[in-house]
Structure 1
Amino acid sequence: MVRAYNYTRAKKNRVYDVEAICETFSVHKNTVTNWRKSVLSSIDERQPLLFKGSELRLFLKQRQLEQKQKLRLGQFKCFSCKARTWPEPRSWNFEEGTSTCFWAHATCPECEKGVQKAISGAQYQQICKALESNITLQLLDEDNGLVPGDVVKDQGNGVVEYKPENERIIFEFQKYTERYNKKTQDAYLAAIRAFEVFLQCKPFDKLKTDDATRYRRHLAYEGMDGRSKSSIAHAASHLRKFIVWLTKQEGYRRLNRSIPDYLELSRADLAGAAGTKNRDYPSIAEVELMISSMPANTLAQQRDRAIVAASFVFGTRADATASLRLKHVDIDKKEVNQDATEVRTKNSKSMLTCWFPINDEFDQILIDYIKRLREQGFEDEDALFPPNADLRNVASLKIEGRPPISTWKSSGSVAMAFKSACQFANVPAYTPHSVRHFLTELGREIASQEGPRKAWSQNLGHETVVITEKYYAKMTADHRQRIFEDMRRGVVYSEDEKDLLLRFLLQELEPGSPEYKRGLELFTKRMERR
């Protein structure tokens, strides 16, 4: 049975057992058995059977390529079981079609259903001669055959043969790190795989302090090659934690327990590495342009515009935005309940956050969008940002007892909405995460006192202001220069002006009042200086 599977779901650094493959690709274990009978290799014959993610990925990719290849002369495509088959010669028969073609009929060896295809007169003669002389049909045009799909460990092309014992201990470490989110787990595995490749797949039970020393120097050299300090430090940290765990496992306890210490990077090791790059984020004018430029003629377009507006107003991360349901947003209190049991928050942390005071129009866009969903029949348990298929089939929303509309499984839809917004506004391609830097900078501008600054930071999901200041919207040289220019010109806000600016952004001022106009003036001037 040939069916297209998204091979990118198989992560190359992971190790999969049969159960994990079944869960990842929604297949039965018998399907995995059939894959193994063809060309998919397990790491060894021991139970449980384990498969390298890179080989599983390559196997599924090869299957996709096969489906795109032109059928070979004696090959049929069975429309019953979707297989590309080589029927038994005795099942072949021919029927004359037009003056230039014939119909070839045969029986599918997979499902025993009839298959057929049109062939030319020349192909008919070639196949008949082959059948009469008992030549295998696969040999008729073998030069047009597919690239072999076997996953092999080629010793002649510099490919290092992996060690099954390493794969099994990595599989155990995967189970140990299941308490972390997927991205963190993948970062650990990437660090381990890079170390394994550097050592040419040396068995982990034979690690020496010299191996760790050589790899530390290798990481320092990568820093000289332009890799950032942060990525190098994280890779070394992940690897140290893995080896600490490794020394506690059966069969690895005789390893030198000081090996992780040899991976400790000094400041000298990181001296040549690139510093942390300043993150690009939009100005308030660009944010307004992005949202106002997006079309809103259809419900799908209104959804995409609401995604971008919600990212700024809610301050949620992309994965959390994609997994929100209608019940999580209170348009009266202007609150978002990020319930970690349903919303994909960072570190599975639940929090109740307020809408950020950015622009009244953004708030209204969200309120109108949510009301429109309610009018169409969407309910509390339904996704706040439904997939296109559900938006096109709104008639099914009226069915009593229907299942809830599912949220997106990834944050890709949020990224696509941002890409569209930036294209419509003709601004740089800002990412959903740039919103976090934008909000940090905005908070720095308007929340100068301790209380508002702490509230702003906690609304971003940070436990302390220090985290916000350390990792987001770091001050650039241009920003520092503008501050000094303001100080030279004597542009300093009084405490009353700061309080008025904060009240304006918190929407506590009556539109049209003198205080509102003064607050708008202060806000506009401050944003222009950015």
Structure 2
Amino acid sequence: MSRRYKIRAKGHRVYDVSEVMELYDICRNTVSNWVGTGLTPSHGTGPQLFRGCELNRFHIARRAQGRKNLRVGQFLCMSCKVAVFPHMPSLNLRQTKKTSWMALGACSECGAAVMKLLDATKHDRLQEAIRTNANLTEIDEGQAEEQVCVGTNTPLRLPENPSMNDRIIHDWQLYAGRYDSKTVDAHLASIRDFEDFFEGQCFSLTKDKDVGKYRKWLLEKGELPREAGGFSASTIRHRASHLAAFFKWLGKQDGYRRLSANLFEYFALPRQKMARVLARPDKIYPSIDEALTMIQSMPTITRTQRRDRAIVAGAFVTGLRAAALSTMRLKHIDCVAKTAVQDARDMRAKNGKSFVIRWFPVPDAFHDIVESWKEELANDGFESDDALFPDAKYLYRPKVGTDPVPTLQTNGVVNRAFRIASTGLGKSFSPHSARHCLKALGDKLCTRAEERKAWSLNLGHESVVVTDTHYGKMTDGTRLQVLGSLKEEDQTSDDEKELLLKYFFHALVPGSPEHRAARILVRKREAALDDDVLE
């Protein structure tokens, strides 16, 4: 079985042995072999833990080694594509010429056959190792691996990114298991940023002044432009919020109870300082007319192109996020009832939320594209459990067997489809821009409170406040345009309105002062109306 180990661990996370085994689909002995050949566990007593960035460093180094600089006991496994030490019982030496030998064995990680040519010196070393049953990692003269963290008096090997806090962070990960994976990653990014700011200092040594120093640095970052490494107001607020929540939890853990009880409160941000933070650029999203131009400009010659066009149309029809859109199946969309289902059991849905979506009232062209794409798949034998937007390799061959066609593993196809669609407009829209567009469309179409609530729920939001706060915000250009088009409000007093009513009902005596005043008011209003017509 091929083991290339091209999976990237999440750099900020901490993994225990069982999590490493699950991530790479390996056994416990393989983890031990990795530790023996250079993988550095996090320091401390107790079960071994591994930081994600250390796992990535280890595998990148192994792949880079290739055939060069192989040690005497190392072989290049063509299945794993990395240098490995074979199983000792499988090692066998055969003489091919008078002064050369062939070493044969089995990879200790995937079991594949490995071999390499030896000269007389290396042959003697391997033969001696076989005779004495010595460890292959120790037969090199002057090239032995650093000692592994095993035993009681072994020296500590720090990882590439040393941390004194990996064990408590792993405990927090267990506590944060109730959150969505992306939420946990965002919190970990903030925690690691704080840790890096103090060069890996143990969290148990954090003082009030340290938090104040970090908060000051955050605010200074907010005053810098993004090109110079500055942070947006949203980034600063999230960093402070994440760290306040973490230190509030940390203060209740064993070994950290000596931290100041009010430490987390020092992450509160001053309003006056936050007002100086540079505002983020307006989020770019298309109008519904631009969205229509996008799908009309997309090529439709190949099935892959028609799939990409259906992906873009589906985003505006359903309002689904890229992750959910890429994992839709045929059963999740009903072209007769004009509904779609976000089913967290089968789809990558944010916060594990499931709900039914009524197709949004976008132009019929969007609906037609989605309907024709589903019909095209159905005509080729696709069934309800098959992917609505499958990988291209499943589009050019007939479906065989009863196993459902799998959904996309990543959002890359969805992102690429939107990039192609927006090329004709000379802009770059992300899949999430479709949700902003739909929110802006709802602002125009919804006139009653219940309509706005229904529109918000159809986007998957529990509150209209969430929709209004985070989606389809009015840009500065639109704001200035709207304000510039407003006219001065009507300043007619109640007495003048009553006088006008009497005039139009012929209740005033011609030639009287009241009649003349009413005539002047009428002429002013007629002149104002004439100006509007000319504009």
Kept after mapping to 2: 8 A contact 1:278/1:473: no
Kept after mapping to 2: 8 A contact 1:320/1:345: yes
Distance 1:239 1:406 in 2: 39
Distance 2:341 2:106 in 1: 56
Please report how far the alpha carbon of residue 107 of structure 1 lies from its aligned counterpart in structure 2 after TM superposition.
2.5
Distance 2:341 2:112 in 1: 55
Distance 2:122 2:18 in 1: 44
Q: Which residue of 2 is the match for residue 107 of structure 1?
A: 104
Please report how far the alpha carbon of residue 269 of structure 1 lies from its aligned counterpart in structure 2 after TM superposition.
3.1
Q: Which residue of 1 is the match for residue 163 of structure 2?
A: 162
Distance 1:162 1:377 in 2: 54
Cα distance 1:411–1:433, how it changes in 2: closer, same or farther (>3 A)?
same
Kept after mapping to 1: 8 A contact 2:100/2:120: no
1:464-508 CA distance string (max 9 Å, x none)? 333222212221222123324544599xxxxxxxxxxxxxxxxxx
Q: CA RMSD in A?
A: 3.9
Cα distance 1:417–1:489, how it changes in 2: closer, same or farther (>3 A)?
farther
Please report how far the alpha carbon of residue 324 of structure 1 lies from its aligned counterpart in structure 2 after TM superposition.
1.6
Kept after mapping to 2: 8 A contact 1:105/1:115: no
Distance 2:253 2:76 in 1: 50
Q: Which residue of 1 is the match for residue 503 of structure 2?
A: none
The amino acid that maps onto 1:15 is V
Matched, 1:289 2:288: no
1:262-283 CA distance string (max 9 Å, x none)? 1111113323322233100123
Distance 1:114 1:476 in 2: 63
Report matched runs for 1:141-220 at 5 Å: 161-163=162-164, 166-220=165-219
Distance 2:471 2:61 in 1: 42
Please report how far the alpha carbon of residue 195 of structure 1 lies from its aligned counterpart in structure 2 after TM superposition.
1.1
The amino acid that maps onto 1:391 is L
Q: Which residue of 1 is the match for residue 340 of structure 2?
A: 336
Specify every segment of 5 or more residues in structure 1 that has no aligned partner in the other structure, as ranges: 97-101, 119-123, 491-530
Cα distance 1:469–1:106, how it changes in 2: closer, same or farther (>3 A)?
same
Bigger shift: residues 185-194 or 246-255: 246-255
Kept after mapping to 2: 8 A contact 1:311/1:321: yes
Report matched runs for 1:380-391 at 5 Å: 380-391=384-395
Kept after mapping to 2: 8 A contact 1:2/1:84: no
Distance 2:366 2:124 in 1: 76
Distance 1:429 1:81 in 2: 39
Please report how far the alpha carbon of residue 53 of structure 1 lies from its aligned counterpart in structure 2 after TM superposition.
1.2
Please report how far the alpha carbon of residue 413 of structure 1 lies from its aligned counterpart in structure 2 after TM superposition.
2.2
Among 298, 323, 328, the alignment partner of 2:327 is 323
Cα distance 1:202–1:381, how it changes in 2: closer, same or farther (>3 A)?
same
Q: Which residue of 2 is the match for residue 278 of structure 1?
A: 282
TM-score (norm 1): 0.77
Kept after mapping to 1: 8 A contact 2:42/2:50: yes
Kept after mapping to 2: 8 A contact 1:437/1:472: yes
Distance 1:133 1:183 in 2: 51
Among 272, 283, 308, the alignment partner of 1:304 is 308
Distance 1:462 1:254 in 2: 41
Kept after mapping to 2: 8 A contact 1:329/1:335: yes
The amino acid that maps onto 1:418 is F
Distance 1:355 1:349 in 2: 18
Please report how far the alpha carbon of residue 71 of structure 1 lies from its aligned counterpart in structure 2 after TM superposition.
7.5
Among 257, 263, 284, the alignment partner of 2:261 is 257
Q: Which residue of 1 is the match for residue 23 of structure 2?
A: 24
1:187-229 CA distance string (max 9 Å, x none)? 1111111111222222222222122121111211221223111
Please report how far the alpha carbon of residue 443 of structure 1 lies from its aligned counterpart in structure 2 after TM superposition.
1.7
Bigger shift: residues 36-45 or 302-311: 36-45
Distance 1:435 1:411 in 2: 15
Aligned residues: 463
Q: Which residue of 2 is the match for residue 452 of structure 1?
A: 451
Distance 2:84 2:60 in 1: 19
% same residue: 38
Query: Which secondary structure does the structure 2 equivalent of 1:91 belong to?
Result: strand
Q: Which residue of 2 is the match for residue 518 of structure 1?
A: none
Query: Which secondary structure does the structure 2 equivalent of 1:219 belong to?
Result: helix
Distance 1:255 1:129 in 2: 60
The amino acid that maps onto 2:417 is A
Structure number with bigger Rg: 2
Specify every segment of 5 or more residues in structure 2 that has no aligned partner in the other structure, as ranges: 127-136, 150-154, 225-229, 490-535
Matched, 1:408 2:405: no
Distance 2:58 2:201 in 1: 25
